[in-house]
Amino acid sequence: MSMSSRERVLAAINHQEPDRVPIDLGGESNTGIAAGTYTRLRERLGIEGEPVKVFDVEQMLAWVEQPVVGALGVDVLPIRRLTQAYGMRLDNWRPWRLDDGTPVQMPARFDPVTEEDGSLGLYLNGELVAKKVSMSPYFDPMIEFKFYNPLPPVETFDMWAFTDEELGWARRWAERLRAETDKALLGDPGVVLTRWSSYQEWLYTLAADPDYVLAFYDRKVENMLTNLELYAQAVGNNIDIFRTGEDYGTQKGMMISPKMFNEMIAPYYKRVFDWIHQNTSWKIFFHCCGAIYPIIGTLIECGIDILNPVQTTAVGMDPAKLKAEFGEAITFWGGGIDTQSVLPFGSPEEVRAQVRERIQIFGLGGGFVFTPVHNIQEKIPVDNLLAMYEAVHEYGQYPIRKA
């Protein structure tokens, strides 16, 4: 019996077998598609429209439109923040062109400055916050080059809070999409534990002055709980899934020891996730790249329901191993195809083969939402994308046959 998209996604998250494997494209900022690739995909699907809107300037991601959602059988829609990274608002747009000349629409506040070295810089309140060099399609965040000497008192860091305008935006989108669609709705409000500066400074400080990091997290978790309460009042149960996360892995291992994560970081996540489970019906979607096998058990104990992006080529992240050990406790939202090798460089036949293999591993018993390992990048062959989605619909019908 055919299910609605929302029923399909929730069944999968609850470790039940729906009618088919659910599909996500653009439900949040790590399951999206680059604007140029999306434009070519839309053309191949025969869907016309105005130039694509780029909602995520850092990663240059397209706002996936309803006709594409329908054509590909996508089951998830996002509830995005009004104000994205670099102060970019999503309520007004301006024309621009990608490096290859593709016309797109950018947030109206997007106003890059050409620097002396030929790069493009984005400024916020007079500070350079992002930079795009000619060889890259992305605007890289300058926070990764930021260091304090000395570290300022923890209490001097600004802690943001939702404005009434932001909350009204989220409420209207959640109410509208709940009323007008049957999709599962994923709230991505930007409530994250994160850092005050670069990864490098965070790592140095964890080792040299752990009390400083803990003091920052003490402030930050209170800020997260305040914002969560405001957000819950705004969207209520009109969303199904709440997204948060932070990267703790590289492709070869953890950035920090599992012991340090378990003792210094996990307790703060548990406080946040306990509040969500006690006060809402939301499922918790946690994004964490890399070789994070050593902390998956801890994340489950903290209360996550969903793990993304499931970077299966990283050390220790073998799909069969992950499903066998954690498949009854969490939903794998990702890992559907490798985005570093097979999707960009494989043949359509190789794409289909890996999609089938991943569905046969992750899909058994539910607990799987199909999306690639992280975003679909620029210059991905459209033939491979079509092969990927065709394979999900062909091989993702329940009951799924074992390999």
For the segment 151-172, the average pLDDT, to the nearest whole number, is 97
pLDDT confidence band for 401 (50 / 70 / 90): confident
Determine the pLDDT at residue 2.
87
Give the amino acid at 269: Y
Determine the pLDDT at residue 403.
66
Give the pair of three-digit tokens for residue 381.
């062959």
What percentage of the chain carries pLDDT values higher than 70? 100
pLDDT confidence band for 1 (50 / 70 / 90): low
The CATH number corresponding to 5-88+149-395 among 3.20.20.210, 1.10.10.10, 3.40.190.10, 3.40.50.300 equals 3.20.20.210
Report how far residue 271's alpha carbon sits from residue 269's, in angstroms, rounded to the nearest whole number.
5
Please check whether residue 312 is in contact with residue 373, taking contact to mean a CB–CB distance below 8 angstroms: yes
Give the pair of three-digit tokens for residue 27.
């439900």
For the segment 360-374, the average pLDDT, to the nearest whole number, is 97
The residue among 210, 204, 215 whose CA lies nearest residue 149 is 204
Q: What is the pLDDT of residues 168-217, one digit of tens each?
A: 999 999 999 999 999 999 999 999 999 999 999 999 999 999 999 999 99
For the segment 330-337, the average pLDDT, to the nearest whole number, is 98
Q: What is the pLDDT of residues 70-127, one digit of tens each?
A: 999 999 999 999 999 999 999 999 999 999 999 999 999 999 999 999 999 999 999 9
Report how far residue 186's alpha carbon sits from residue 306's, in angstroms, rounded to the nearest whole number.
12
Strands (E) located in 246-321: 283-287, 306-308
CA distances (Å), origin 66, targets 119, 175, 185, 264:
34, 16, 14, 42
pLDDT confidence band for 356 (50 / 70 / 90): very high
Strands (E) located in 70-211: 76-80, 93-97, 103-107, 113-114, 120-124, 127-132, 140-141, 184-188
Q: Per this entry, what is the length of the chain?
A: 403
Report how far residue 385's alpha carbon sits from residue 207's, in angstroms, rounded to the nearest whole number.
43
Burial 248-257 (b: 16+ CB within 10 A, else e): bbeeebbbbe
Report how far residue 245's alpha carbon sits from residue 92's, in angstroms, rounded to the nearest whole number.
28
Give the pair of three-digit tokens for residue 246.
């932070």
Please check whether residue 270 is in contact with residue 234, taking contact to mean a CB–CB distance below 8 angstroms: no
Q: What is the pLDDT of residues 55-66, one digit of tens each?
A: 999 999 999 999
Strand pairing class (120-124; 283-287):
unpaired
Q: What is the pLDDT of residues 224-245, one digit of tens each?
A: 999 999 999 999 999 999 999 9
Report how far residue 193's alpha carbon sits from residue 395's, in angstroms, rounded to the nearest whole number.
38
> Do you find a cis peptide bond into 189, omega within 30 degrees of 0?
no
pLDDT of residue 375 exceeding 80, the answer is yes
What percentage of the chain carries pLDDT values higher than 90? 98
Give the pair of three-digit tokens for residue 402.
């074992």
pLDDT confidence band for 402 (50 / 70 / 90): confident
Burial class of residue 170 in the structure, from the number of CB atoms within 10 Å of its CB (0-12 exposed, 13-18 middle, 19+ buried): buried
Burial class of residue 208 in the structure, from the number of CB atoms within 10 Å of its CB (0-12 exposed, 13-18 middle, 19+ buried): exposed
- Nearby residues of 284 by Cβ (< 8 Å), 6 or more positions away: 241, 242, 244, 273, 276, 277, 303, 304, 305, 306
Q: What is the pLDDT of residues 285-318, one digit of tens each?
A: 999 999 999 999 999 999 999 999 999 999 999 9
Sheet holding 306-308, edge to edge: 76-80, 184-188, 241-245, 283-287, 306-308, 331-333, 368-369
Determine the pLDDT at residue 79.
98
The residue among 391, 393, 400, 403 whose CA lies nearest residue 347 is 391
CA distances (Å), origin 365, targets 13, 30, 95, 338, 368:
10, 25, 46, 22, 9
Determine the pLDDT at residue 374.
95
For the segment 337-347, the average pLDDT, to the nearest whole number, is 97
Q: What is the pLDDT of residues 129-150, one digit of tens each?
A: 999 999 999 999 999 999 999 9
Report how far residue 192's alpha carbon sits from residue 353's, in angstroms, rounded to the nearest whole number.
36
β-pair partners for 128: 123
Q: What is the pLDDT of residues 252-274, one digit of tens each?
A: 999 999 999 999 999 999 999 99
Q: What are phi and psi of 96, to 5 degrees?
A: -160, 175
